[in-house]
Structure 1
Amino acid sequence: MRKIKLIVFVFGLIGLCTPVRAQEKFLEMIKDEMNKEFAELQKEKHAPYYMNFRAVDERRTFVMSTFGAIMQSVKNHRRYLVPQVRIGSPEYDNFTTREMGSGAGRGGPSVAQLSLNGESGEAADRNAIWYETESRYKVAVSALQQALGNEQMFLQMSDKSPSLSKTKIEKYYEPQLPAEKLTIDREAWGKRLNEISSEFKKYPEIIEGSAHIEYNVLRTYFISTEGAEIVHNLPYARIMVQASTMADDGMRLPLHLSYFAYDPDNLPSNDSIMKDVNVIAKKLIALRTAPTVDPFSGPALMSGAASGVFFHEIFGHRTEGQRMKKDVDGQTFKDMIGKLVLPEGMSVADDPTLRYCAGTELNGYYKYDEQGVKAERVDVVIDGKMNDFLMTRTALEGHARSNGHGRAVGGFDPVSRQSNLIISIKDPRTEKELRALLIEEIKKQNKEFGFYFKEVSGGFTQTGRMAINSFNVTPLEVYRVYADGRPDELVRGLDMIGTPLAMFSNIVAAGGQVEVFTGMCGAESGSIPVTAVSPCILVNRIEVQRVMNYKAIPPILERP
């Protein structure tokens, strides 16, 4: 199951800042430790043919306000290192038959936790690295023995391409960011957030109203026994505004706002955000009395933000090449290169090198992936025809090289993941034309109405063969569009569901103006930042179902 969703982070206590000199002493230390451990392991019966170390210096600042009061204000600084040990050969190694994302079996939260004390912490750091490398090597041996003991499984695998493909050995270095870019003024931001969240006090019907800022600065070190040596920085900031109300029948109704920038100084002004706050507050009040919907199958229009999530879930996950290596995967598009999979004129690209689009900074940007491969734009679909997949160093028949899409967080091992998914169309329609086409389609199907999906919060999808290949997208703001010209009607209590191949064939037209959805995608290698950029699209058939009944007892007392 893969998910894209909005995530709120809560962080621990502040750590000590590490001097720049100590940071680069740190790089030399991890190189030395990797070389020593690799040399020692060559004496073993199962000697590694490849190792890499991925270390992250991570600084996070988090401030949260609810109804005009600071609820959290924390800073956190930590460093950790994730070793990867490969034994066997590039053609067939300990990762071949393991579930993706578990890597050598230690792919979850297990990492070498490192000190923040510079040279004085070196002995502790070396010990932590040794212990984690030792642990991963032992599991690697067990995994390889299991694989070799089941060679018949390998012989029966439909795809026998290498477990670790060749790649260009990269050398890249960025200096540490200046001290003033490593954190934000929590007191100043607290005042701003209090002003924003105070707006919700004007509306007694709103039971939850908060605003928070999260500022992250990641400095990543990647070294390998092949000679790769990469050091790069990635700062990014995000304001989230979240509010909810409850209908009289107990249904909880949330809405949110999201603002993203690489530099906190580029985030919108409070005046701009508070205008948006009042808009969603009024929508929440309207949702309280909006009717619920019955199951439905028929035409629908999706805004750019909604269709971005739609494409991420239904299409994007099926273009992640490493997943197709497994015969248990559905492999929806594996044999579809050069064949029509979307309407003619529609193209899809995944571009981690893109920092900006449609005047917006993109959350899925990065320079190098977690396998030390330079990020590349991948034209997945060109004019409706399947063209390429998102690849890691795990090769696939016909796709022998990585294009820099091996992504992971924490102790997870990298797998193929999306970054900035960009959908475009050659013959775009205007908003007015799309609306007319929707009405025409409603009448053609003898329906009373269709739907307009304006805002969604995320969704999930299944891609394996062991379960039905399906998707579920969670709408927040949805309208009935009537064929007889009645005003659109706000509704609640539905999920957008379906199966992928059917949905791809249902796309009728798309608009020219794009919208950006920023979120976090959870899958085998952890929750990673992603963006979807898409125009409004019209589908001739969508299926909706009632949401799970999580109704609660409405508040008895008035909100203070």
Structure 2
Amino acid sequence: MKRLGLIIVSCIFSLLSVHTLYAQEQDKLLQLLKQELAADMQELQKQENPPYHMNFRVMDDRTVNISSSFGATMMSVEQHSRSMVPQIRVGDTILDNFKYNAMGAPADQRGNVRVAYLGLDDEKGADATRQAIWAEVMKRYDFAVEAYQRAKTQSQVSVADEDKAPSFSAAPVEKYYEAPLPAEKLTVDRDAWEKRLNEISAVFKAYPLLQSGDVSLTFRVLRNYFVNTEGTEVVQNRTYARIMISASMKAEDGMELPLNMSYFAYDPKDLPSNDRMIADAKDMVRRLTVLRDAPVVDPYTGPAILSGPASGVFFHEIFGHRIEGHRLKGGGETFKKKVGELVLPADFQVYCDPTLRSYAGEELNGFYLYDDQGVKARRVDVVKDGVLREFLMSRVPLDGFPRSNGHGRTAGGGDPVSRQSNLVVETTAPHSEAELRSMLIEEAKKQGKEYGYYFKEVTSGFTLTGEGGSLNSFNVTPLEVYRIYVDGRPDELVRGVDLIGTPLSMFSNIVCGGDTPSVFTGECGAESGWVPVTASSPMILVNKIETQRRQKSRDLPPILPAPGKN
């Protein structure tokens, strides 16, 4: 009976493989891309500077965007586009046209990142698609040759690079195919969602002090094709829905006070109920009303606690960008020579895992199975027991890290570079929130401070990774910050705080982490476009942070009351 069972399972797997193979063969766009890539590669081999590698990346993008403000629909659009980006590498893996562009994306002669738009009808539009591919390949090839000549010249007249790694690394040949999604999975009921969003944003009509009160839904279905001359063929789908609720007030001194929150799910049916989102919108207004009257603070140095979401943004901006391999080929190179050294407390673990679909009960925006270079995604243990072990790598190698680990990412017309996916921070020695507060108060007393800070919510941040003082710094924008007084007074909400500093100093001041992870979902903008990311971290205690006073707006609150409020 056991033998028979094994035979039956084997037969099922065989049938599944046959079904997938049949679906691939029936995918007209995939077959056209493979034919055109082979033909173009063969033809370009006749040129003086023949490519040694080519790939085609196609993005079939269906997007629904609906926005509502103060109870009224402001936008409701559904779009379907198909765009293609060829990559052509001239020279060889040691020196090619990307050698001196590791930290940017190839652009055309006018400096604009390009895509070629393809027809949406695979039956009737094949000829037009071939024409569009041909035209874009010719433009990219001409520019590739020019860039290669510049790279060769620069290599002869410039100081030798400190990093001796080649321009391009080898990667396994991958074959992966997902069938097209059924028609009912490609869109949402726009009328129903317009009604839902209007119900939520109508909450804001009752509050005359609000400058804005918006709710938006983005539903997106991406079907990505990737083929290269090495034989890799990857076709995968990505579907997600995201709701954003945002509101803002202006303080009497003109300071802008925004708050926002988001909800993410792979399937729209898994988004929260309207009752929950309405309650969250009302709470947002309550918090803004208190924040409007909060005192503005002066610059500060001293101990602080960062909440889980705040810590997630902090690690993404300040740590995550400095472990992206291509940034270590030039610029500040914060961590390049610290592999094997302690960079965080010994109980801290940091990893990036694009194969994670969910964590701490939340679905993750940085999930994918193959990156945008057709390399299989895998978990990268960046920090183990506080020690730096590895970087996030695309097919741009780095001394000591010759292979991609599936983190070559891009969006739109940019070419892939190493980027974050799902960044997870954990600690093996967690503390409760009450314990962290006690430790904060003790540290503030030790430093002679009247209070420490608690950063509850942040909205975003940016980091500079270049060479030189201010170019290797960060700035994180908090939305809600509290003073925690050492004498037992109630926590006090304050405003006008920017968290600033330099990364190595900040990391050396981390003391410990909390026992409850939080998930921060967003999109990260860098040289290869806006890519979906998630950062998860527990609350952390830092014995010294630095803040500066936020630049104040010169625009005072409006003289006239909001419409309908007078």
Q: Which TM bucket (shorter chain)?
A: over 0.9
Separation (CA, whole Å) in 1 of partners of 2:262 and 2:157: 47
What displacement does 1:103 show? 2.9
The one of 321, 334, 337 equivalent to 2:336 is 334
- What is the aligned-residue RMSD (CA, Å)? 1.5
1:117-128 to structure 2, matched below 5 A, reads 117-128=121-132
Given that 2:308 and 2:517 are in contact with CA atoms closer than 8 Å, whether structure 1 keeps it comes out as yes
Name the structure 1 match of 2:71: 68
1:470-489 paired onto structure 2 within 5 Å: 470-489=473-492
Q: In structure 1, what residue type is equivalent to 2:244? A: M
Counterpart position of 2:165:
161
Letter matched to residue 113 of structure 1: Y
Deviation digits for residues 42-94 of structure 1 (CA, Å, limit 9, x no counterpart):
00000000000000100000111111110100000000000000011112111
Question: What residue in structure 1 maps to residue 384 of structure 2?
Answer: 382
Which residue of 1 is the match for residue 94 of structure 2? 91
Deviates more, 1:26-35 or 1:152-161: 152-161
- Aligned equivalent of 1:408, options 407, 410, 422: 410
- Among 337, 360, 363, the alignment partner of 2:365 is 363
- Structure 1 residue runs without a partner (length 5+): 1-19
Describe the shift of the 1:341–1:321 C-alpha distance in structure 2 as closer, same or farther (beyond 3 A).
same
Aligned residues: 539
CA distance in 2, matches of 1:440, 1:224: 59
User: 2-side partners of 1:496 and 1:453: how far apart?
Assistant: 9
- Listed as ranges, the matches of 1:191-340 within 5 Å are 191-326=195-330, 329-340=331-342
Shift of 1:534: 0.2
Q: Which has the higher contact order (CA 8 A, sep 6+)?
A: 1
Contact kept in structure 1, 2:62 and 2:79, CA below 8 Å: yes
Match of 1:13 in 2: none
8 Å contact kept, 2:307–2:455: yes
Residue aligning to 1:517: 520
- Three-state SS of the structure 1 residue aligned to 2:543 is strand
Amino acid at match of 1:241: I
Unaligned runs of 5+ in 2: 1-22
| TM-score for the superposition, normalised by structure 1 | 0.94
Identical-pair percentage: 57
Q: Indicate the SS of the match to 1:400.
A: coil
In structure 1, the partner of 2:177 is: 173
Distance in 1, matches of 2:79 and 2:25, equals 19
1:148 Cα offset (Å): 1.5
Structure 1 pair 108–537 and aligned structure 2 pair: CA distance change class (3 A): farther
The alignment partner of 1:119 has SS state of coil
Say whether residues 1:463 and 2:465 are aligned partners: yes
Between the aligned partners of 1:469 and 1:331, the Cα distance in structure 2 is: 9
C-alpha displacement at 1:26, in angstroms?
1.4
Task: Name the residue aligned to 1:115.
Answer: 119
CA contact (8 A) 2:106 2:113 kept: no
Residues 98, 104 of structure 1: 8 Å contact kept: no
Query: Which among 34, 39, 44 is matched to residue 41 of structure 1?
Result: 44
Distance 2:248 2:552 in 1: 17
Three-state SS of the structure 2 residue aligned to 1:281 is helix
- Shift of residue 96, structure 1, vs aligned partner: 0.6
Worse-matched range after superposition: 549-558 or 33-42: 549-558
Deviation at 1:151, TM superposition (A): 2.7
Of 346, 350, 369, the residue aligned with 2:352 is: 350
Q: Equivalent residue of 1:487, what SS?
A: coil
- 1:275-317 Cα distance to aligned partner (Å, 9 max, x none): 1111111000111111101011111100000000111111111
Indicate if the aligned counterparts of 1:390 and 1:403 stay in contact, CA closer than 8 A: yes
1:105 and 1:140 in contact (8 A); partners too? no
- Distance (whole Å) between structure 1 residues aligned to residue 217 and residue 430 of structure 2: 36
Structure 1 CA distance, aligned partners of 2:298 and 2:549?
Answer: 6
* 1:82 and 2:85 correspond: yes
1:22 touches 1:118 (CA, 8 Å); kept in 2?
Answer: no
**1:503-542, aligned counterparts within 5 Å?**
503-542=506-545
- Rounded Cα–Cα distance in structure 2 between residues aligned with 1:446 and 1:255: 33
Residues 252 and 551, structure 1, Cα contact 8 Å, conserved in 2: no
> Are 1:101 and 1:414, in contact at CA under 8 Å, matched by a contact in 2?
no
